[in-house]
Structure 1
Amino acid sequence: MSSRVVIRRVTRASGGQNSPELVATRMRSFASSLTPRTAATFLAIMTSDGLENYLITPDTESMNKAALSAAHAVTGRLAYADELPDLRAAARVGHLFFRPGGTRASTTQSGRDPFSMAASLADMSAGSWVAITMRAPHRGLLLHEDRLWDRWIKGRIVGGTHHSLEPNGVIAHIAAASTTRADVDSLLRQVAGDMHGFDLETRTVHFPRPWVLAQLAAVTLALVIAGVGVHVAAPSLAAIVPGAIVSMTTAGLFVFAVLPLQIMLGYTAWGRRYEKRFRTGRFPLPRRRWAWRTRPPTQGNDQGRAESAQDFQSSSAKRATGPGDYPLSRGSFKLAAILPVGALAPASGSASGTSETGDRAAPASLLRRIGPVIGLDAIGRMVRLSAADLWAGVAVFGKPRSGKSYLLRSLFAFLLMDQQPLPRDEAATPEQSASMLGEQGAIVAFESKSGQDAAEYQAWATSLGTRKVHVFDLADPDGARIDMFTGGSGILDSAAKFVEKMIYHWGSDSIGAASAKTLRGVFTTALGAPTDSLEAAIETHPEAPTPAPVATHMSIAHALLGGYGDEFGVHLAETIRRRLADVKAGRADGNQESLEVAVGGLSELYGTTVKPASRAALQKAPSSKVEVLMLAPHWWRTDGRVTTIDQILHRHLRVVINSGATSTRTGASRDNLRLPAAVGDALSGMLLYSLKEIIQDVCAGWEDQGRYVAIICDELARVAANSPDVIEWTRMQGRAFGVIPIFATQEPDQLVDAVKRTMFSLSTVISYAQENSDVATQIAKDFTGGASEGFEVVHPKEVMDLARYMTLVRTVVEQQRQNVFTARVHPFEDDRDAFRDVVYPTDTETVVR
């Protein structure tokens, strides 16, 4: 037999919880690998990271296979551990012992949750632990524990049905540790109560046992007193007994007094060594009872006669009718293989399957410093997402004012902080001087509420370093702008790509093939002709629009689509043709090649054979879309502060695109300037599509280079209303380009089906409270992930009953799905300067009360 011990950490894997019948079958398979000298220990310990479960076995092939059976029984995944957590933190260790006094009432196993013990253990205080060590029964000629137990237990129960009589029963020793003796006693009573079917009276024993020490001390004292008495009475006894005998008697009593004293010291040393084995994780085999024979129970008991406490009296008169001797060591119990399984199940307090939202503890893996903090778990510890898994996306659902914007800004703050690690001499912790994702990353956030919300992004930049956050207010006529006509290899390509952006927002049903063709021709002309062509047309036409529109590519397209009347559209087309003729003849300066392309774009609407009626039919559908875009005329200007998306990516900028109301806090010219919602949604959606297209051109290979593009969108329904293209791409192909998608919306039903499916396919899904039961059911179904019973089932009522700022979270670590848990979003914006210290505290654990 191998003397090497293997420690395995048991963590919960994905999938549904097993039925009690399947758990029992797998645990019997596990127990079949045990021998009388091969033990296994189930250890549950409450650490600072939560409840942890370990399986400790000898390093043998059979036990390695048996460990898999035990893991499957608790729907767990095994991971080797180098050592156990510190078991010495608990001040007291106790052992469960049989106490003669009759069988007690017990709960039946039928229909009971075999993992209910896990829920109780999740309430242990930090440092407390429970260890159940098991071996197979001895079946020798002199000691056959199975036969002795069967005879004894069948004499105590009616009908001969008992959990310990099931195949592959184990001999178990149960130990526990906690801060006080009372806590240890309470913990052991709870463990005994959670093993459904366990019906023996028990008590808690601590080593060395005080009553043994007291008895040995009493014997020592009695011998000393007797020796003193004989010595005092020696003169009187001299007349009766020779003096030599009296002296020998006195000396003998004193000598014999040393023997129980030595036994007491030796027993004390043994007891302390025995306790030390448990404190150091070297759990001994359950002890055997050493006796030549055990007294069997009476025949009356064998027939089911009820017992009373009097049956356990030790008088010779009662011995003939007693229940017999306990056949095992009183610190050992024979159990069905399924009974100890609750100590191995990594249920973290949610094993009861309760639907109460607040009872879902965070997995211990999310309490480590693996990425951004999203909030506090049920006991006030910081819960995190895995930074290494952010590429697989974050989806957030929540009704208005639930706090989802706050959460998204917290994730933004982490990214911003991660790009600016502190110098080592300034860092309070090693993590503060290192970057998890890399320092080169562009961040693009789409904000739709107000400039006040956009300004919060800038406030984070002020607190966390020197890198600025640039806000593009779509409604600010004097603000910075993003050129949306870039991205093509030429005028024709740029015009086609711009039309694709429009189709993305309005959808192919709204912009069909005919409208798309018309729009491509119009924007080909608008991009090829100089903007002063519109000014020249206005100056030379008696019915020109007043006030004169700003001369932009968009206003040229609007005029050509009849936005200022058909006569002016015809006049503008002729002005562009004359401009080309003048350039060819040398009468004017200009780009002849561009003008030739522009004139070519006029053929569909303003060709020599096109009648006004035919032109009007072609203009009707597409003109309504361009008319919406013209409600933000300033956005299409080419003068002033203008940048491009490829510049944003190349320079790894952090930008916020605000389609809501403006605020001077962001640098806008005035407060509360607002575009119609339709305009803001159209511009935001088209910019999102532009971002996706340019990422494909600029960011190829960024994942391998350690660079990324984080896309944060607060109201996805507004920018992906009619097309799933961008959202699906970020999830399926975006990783290779370093894309990190972080999306939020109020309800899944606001999204088209393809976008909805993509949102639920992201690795992290976070839900705030929902008021619609159908929506709550949909989210709960995704969180449940196919489970049919047990704590893995998330109920719709849990989603609906979440308190404000409380979330239900499904996420992954190393692409492995974790248990659903609750977290309250932390108020980081109340103290931004402490953000680094909260995310990376100097102590080993951050608990917020």
Structure 2
Amino acid sequence: MNVSAFKVRPTASKQVDPGIYVQRAKAFESSLRSVKQATLLAVTGDDGTLDAFLVTPPTSKRAGRGAASLAANLAATIDAVVEPCDDVPDLLAGLGDRPCLVSARVRLESVAGRDTAAGADPAEVAKVIWRANVRRAWVAFTMRTPRPAEVSAYRSWVSSRGGNESHYSRGGELLATSILVGAPDRSTADDLLRQVVAAMPGLDITADPVVVGSGTLPWLLGAGSAGVYGAQVAGVVPALGSVSDTWPLALGLSVPAALGAHAALRLAGRNRLLSRLDGLDFPAPRRSAAKHQRRPATDSGGVPRTARVVYPLDRSVLLCAPHMLTGLAVPPGGSASGPATASSRLVPASLRAPIGPMLGADADGNPAHLSADDLYGGVGLLGVPGFGKSVAMRVCLGWVLARRIVDDRSCVIVFENKGDGATACRRMAQSVTGDPDSMLLIDLADASTPAIDVFAFPGTASQKAARFIEAARYAFGEGTLENASIEALNAVLPAALWLSDHGHGNPIALTHRLLGGFGDTSATELSSVVRAAAVTDESAVEAAQYTEILFGANVSASTRRTQSQAARNKLAQLAEIETWWDAGRSRVSWEDVLANHDAVVVNLGTAADGTQVSDRQTQLLSSLLLFQLREAIGRVCVGWQDQGRQVNIFADELSVLAGSSPETVTWLRDQGRSYGVRPFFATQYPQQLHERVRDSLLGFATMLWFGQNNPEIVKSAVSDLTLDGSDFTGADIAAIPRYFAVLRTTVAGVRQTPCLIGIGDWEMRGDWARFLTDQQAATGESYGDVVERVPEHRGWVKPGVQPAGSAGDAYDDSTVAAPVQAMAVPNDPDRFSPDRFNRPIPNDPQDW
């Protein structure tokens, strides 16, 4: 298809306002001057819907820009989305072996009609075609700018007819137009053309359908052929005598000749048109010398005689106002137009400059950037599954990773709850940086990857226990860990940590056992190991003292069982995640991830190899890790924003990560800014979020609203997007197509006009070179050669510990009795040194 074609997509906006419609149609006429011609095409599909297209012939690059401008003005006129397409239906297929093509021919009438466009429905022409309900039928308006002589002659002709004083031709903007209709048969085509002409608002002339190729020229040439043929016949039969003897034969043979010549010429014209229509090459409206109406002659008494009507243009050409024509493309609405999409909202000029990550572009191809300086205010993404939230999230992630190539003072932490999402993140990291190990994978269900050390708090064992209990309270939810549970955990956690440090397994399994998870006998024996060690090992003294709460001489087994029951049930839920707590698994602390500006993706859902994880386990561990990350940020990242350092936190489903308490998420947005925190949070279930979390998310500096079908969420979107006076309706939000979003953001803290953008498809096309080129403009710096900023071997990832004894059912009593001196020592005795983070350890654990 060697043309420029655009498809009209209906929007969910209200009906077109006739007053605004007529005014905007003038801009459509003005932009037509920059192209040779244009055709508005309406096609009825097999399903009964009516599709509209704008087609312009191929010309220069300048005319190509003119076609885009013409499409933009058409979109503004009819309040629809007009976008480039290459799937215009075959106009001849489906109309049978001999499709009927008819064109409009002006009927010569001396009296003008009185029709006006006042109060007319802009979509009436399209509705007429839809109501005709002829599958595969189509109507085409081909337009060009008329010459001044044509306009002058037409206006003079209108005046001579005594037409309406407010005639549309006196308005200034006119287009020379030809009408072509295709249908399966002659009667259907004729009827459709008559209805279309009658529905054109303000048209005060009548046009009749004429089959293509049946004009005056074939008859004239046919008659000429007949004369020539007759003369030849008379000349070759002189033996018949006089002319009176030969003329009957000549005449009899000339009539078939005339009919044959006419048929041949008519067929040739039809075939040429069919060939052109196959390539969507519509003939331009004919140009002819303008003809002026002569003043009528008078008889001897001075009375004017009836003059022959002279149409000033070729009779296949109508001179129409632009609003009379653009109605062909107005979506008729409802089922007639098919599914609606959101109205086109162009990117404001402030977001077109390379000021940050480029998310995509609007309908006109204008790039849409976020302000890098405003990312501290947060980026929120809301929408139903499959509409592009994850793709947009990874566009932001790719920009951050690309920035790390030239500025490695940025930490990246991605929370994923599905294995394919984690794989996509690592694939993007490798594609952008060229380093397959640039992003560390931490997978809940895969023990071959490191785990986050949830006890990596500085301080004594009791202080670590206190901090873990606070994190557990956040993960399980407010009110789920009561005083009795907290007291029981405080009694056994220091002992579990001491046992873990000395090679007896992981602290969670040990805590569960000390709480009676494997019976009172096993718990008592395990506690005795700590109390025995305290005799000779000063590090065990504190832990042994805490065990007295549950294992003192005056505490009976039944009392111990009652006091530890609630805590035991909670710890059992964590202990079920065996692969995560495996003592032989390598571990890394949040502090090391932050301090070394590392990039990690934490997959807390189904593993990449398909290993299943329950939703409850995912939510528990997600909340636990987020709480501890917040505390680590508070210890490590003081003043990072002022230093130009960032903590970029990505979460593809905030409802899983946030837990049931709002404090952590709201802290990241409200107080995290000064610590360099830049949150990128998405959710498809905002109604499941705590009210404060939801309010915090909706208050992010940047919001991307994807397609929605929940009425309450749609109301929230409309409320957010109309805050600055912008015009959005619930129907606009519900009609947002896949991989499109309404962007509401700020630049230098100032709210910008919301716009509709298509998310860039770099990832779907695998075009990472183009991605780097586009995002390079956003950084304002040259990437140069890709360099590895993260060391090949992350020295801060601690290897796992092979336990000296098992914490499982087959617990070895010989290990319990082993001398303290033979037990394994901690891997890193200086790991929790008080001056490690250049901050003293507070005496009160609540002061962290």
2:201 counterpart of 1:196:
yes
Given residue 684 of structure 2, which amino acid in structure 1 is its aligned partner?
A: F
2:572 maps to which residue?
A: 634
- What SS does the aligned partner of 2:534 have? helix
Number of positions where the alignment pairs a residue of Structure 1 with one of Structure 2: 619
CA shift at 1:332, angstroms?
Answer: 1.3
Contact 2:715/2:730 (8 A) holds in 1 = no
Which segments of 5 or more consecutive residues in structure 1 lack a partner in the other structure?
A: 300-317, 366-381, 394-410, 422-433, 445-467, 473-481, 536-549, 565-570, 586-591, 607-623, 658-665, 669-673, 698-707, 800-806, 821-849
CA shift at 1:71, angstroms?
Answer: 1.1
**Structure 2 CA distance, aligned partners of 1:88 and 1:51?**
13
Contact 2:142/2:282 (8 A) holds in 1 = yes
- Give a deviation string over 1:304-354, Cα, whole Å, max 9, x none: xxxxxxxxxxxxxx99447933222222111113333345x6x7xxx4566
2:170 maps to which residue?
A: 165
- Give a deviation string over 1:579-629, Cα, whole Å, max 9, x none: 5631427xxxxxx3xx477589999x99xxxxxxxxxxxxxxxxx9x9976
2:283 maps to which residue?
A: 284
**Structure 1 CA distance, aligned partners of 2:297 and 2:418?**
75
CA shift at 1:169, angstroms?
Answer: 1.4
CA shift at 1:163, angstroms?
Answer: 2.2
Given residue 179 of structure 2, which amino acid in structure 1 is its aligned partner?
A: I
**Structure 2 CA distance, aligned partners of 1:271 and 1:667?**
67
2:596 maps to which residue?
A: none
Distance 1:415 1:168, change over 3 A: same
**Structure 2 CA distance, aligned partners of 1:356 and 1:751?**
43
2:722 counterpart of 1:725:
no
Distance 1:104 1:643, change over 3 A: farther
Match of 1:389 among 389, 392, 408: 392
Distance 1:751 1:224, change over 3 A: farther
Distance 1:113 1:470, change over 3 A: farther
- Give a deviation string over 1:472-511, Cα, whole Å, max 9, x none: 9xxxxxxxxx99845657865685366246347757x999
Match of 1:97 among 88, 105, 128: 105
- What SS does the aligned partner of 1:285 have? coil
**Structure 2 CA distance, aligned partners of 1:693 and 1:419?**
22
Q: How does 1:204-353 map to 2 (within 5 A)?
A: 204-209=209-214, 246=246, 261-262=260-261, 264-290=263-289, 293-295=292-294, 320-321=305-306, 324-342=309-327, 351=331
Contact 1:499/1:519 (8 A) holds in 2 = no
1:502 maps to which residue?
A: 473
- What SS does the aligned partner of 1:283 have? coil
2:511 maps to which residue?
A: 553
1:683 maps to which residue?
A: 620
Given residue 635 of structure 1, which amino acid in structure 2 is its aligned partner?
A: Q
Contact 1:385/1:811 (8 A) holds in 2 = yes
2:726 counterpart of 1:794:
no
- What SS does the aligned partner of 1:148 have? helix
1:528 maps to which residue?
A: 497
2:740 counterpart of 1:812:
yes
Match of 1:743 among 656, 681, 684: 684
Contact 1:441/1:709 (8 A) holds in 2 = no
Match of 2:534 among 578, 581, 586: 581
Q: How does 1:338-377 map to 2 (within 5 A)?
A: 338-342=323-327, 351=331, 360=340
2:151 maps to which residue?
A: 146
Contact 1:133/1:174 (8 A) holds in 2 = yes
- What SS does the aligned partner of 2:685 have? strand
- Give a deviation string over 1:267-306, Cα, whole Å, max 9, x none: 532443244334323333311344754457999xxxxxxx
**Structure 2 CA distance, aligned partners of 1:21 and 1:146?**
24
Distance 1:99 1:233, change over 3 A: same
Given residue 794 of structure 1, which amino acid in structure 2 is its aligned partner?
A: G
CA shift at 1:767, angstroms?
Answer: 3.8
- Give a deviation string over 1:760-782, Cα, whole Å, max 9, x none: 96645444455xxx666445556
**Structure 1 CA distance, aligned partners of 2:629 and 2:287?**
71
**Structure 1 CA distance, aligned partners of 2:454 and 2:146?**
81
- Give a deviation string over 1:151-171, Cα, whole Å, max 9, x none: 222345654112232112121
- What SS does the aligned partner of 1:719 have? coil
**Structure 1 CA distance, aligned partners of 2:457 and 2:4?**
60
1:39 maps to which residue?
A: 36
Contact 1:220/1:258 (8 A) holds in 2 = yes
Distance 1:338 1:200, change over 3 A: same
Contact 2:490/2:546 (8 A) holds in 1 = yes
- Give a deviation string over 1:131-180, Cα, whole Å, max 9, x none: 433222223xxxx2222211222345654112232112121223344555
CA RMSD of aligned residues (A): 7.5
**Structure 2 CA distance, aligned partners of 1:109 and 1:83?**
37
- What SS does the aligned partner of 1:134 have? strand
**Structure 1 CA distance, aligned partners of 2:226 and 2:333?**
58
- What SS does the aligned partner of 2:180 have? strand
- What SS does the aligned partner of 2:153 have? helix
**Structure 2 CA distance, aligned partners of 1:257 and 1:711?**
79
**Structure 1 CA distance, aligned partners of 2:629 and 2:327?**
50
Contact 1:74/1:341 (8 A) holds in 2 = no
- Give a deviation string over 1:345-390, Cα, whole Å, max 9, x none: 6x7xxx456699985369999xxxxxxxxxxxxxxxx997587436
CA shift at 1:635, angstroms?
Answer: 2.1
Contact 1:31/1:168 (8 A) holds in 2 = yes
1:830 maps to which residue?
A: none
- What SS does the aligned partner of 1:164 have? helix
Q: Normalising by the residue count of structure 2, what TM-score does the alignment of the two structures yield?
A: 0.51
Q: How does 1:510-521 map to 2 (within 5 A)?
A: none
Contact 1:40/1:135 (8 A) holds in 2 = yes
Contact 2:80/2:343 (8 A) holds in 1 = no
Contact 1:27/1:69 (8 A) holds in 2 = no
Contact 1:286/1:332 (8 A) holds in 2 = yes
Which segments of 5 or more consecutive residues in structure 2 lack a partner in the other structure?
A: 345-359, 361-384, 397-416, 551-562, 589-598, 636-648, 744-753, 759-848
CA shift at 1:68, angstroms?
Answer: 2.5
1:377 maps to which residue?
A: none
- What SS does the aligned partner of 2:537 have? helix
**Structure 2 CA distance, aligned partners of 1:259 and 1:218?**
5
2:605 counterpart of 1:655:
yes
1:174 maps to which residue?
A: 179
1:71 maps to which residue?
A: 72
Given residue 392 of structure 2, which amino acid in structure 1 is its aligned partner?
A: D
Given residue 730 of structure 2, which amino acid in structure 1 is its aligned partner?
A: V
**Structure 1 CA distance, aligned partners of 2:678 and 2:726?**
38
**Structure 1 CA distance, aligned partners of 2:337 and 2:667?**
30
**Structure 2 CA distance, aligned partners of 1:163 and 1:73?**
20
**Structure 1 CA distance, aligned partners of 2:575 and 2:235?**
119
Distance 1:759 1:62, change over 3 A: same
**Structure 2 CA distance, aligned partners of 1:31 and 1:212?**
32
Distance 1:599 1:418, change over 3 A: closer
Contact 2:37/2:56 (8 A) holds in 1 = yes
**Structure 2 CA distance, aligned partners of 1:154 and 1:716?**
74
2:60 maps to which residue?
A: 59
1:28 maps to which residue?
A: 26
Given residue 170 of structure 2, which amino acid in structure 1 is its aligned partner?
A: L
**Structure 2 CA distance, aligned partners of 1:721 and 1:686?**
9
**Structure 1 CA distance, aligned partners of 2:686 and 2:601?**
29
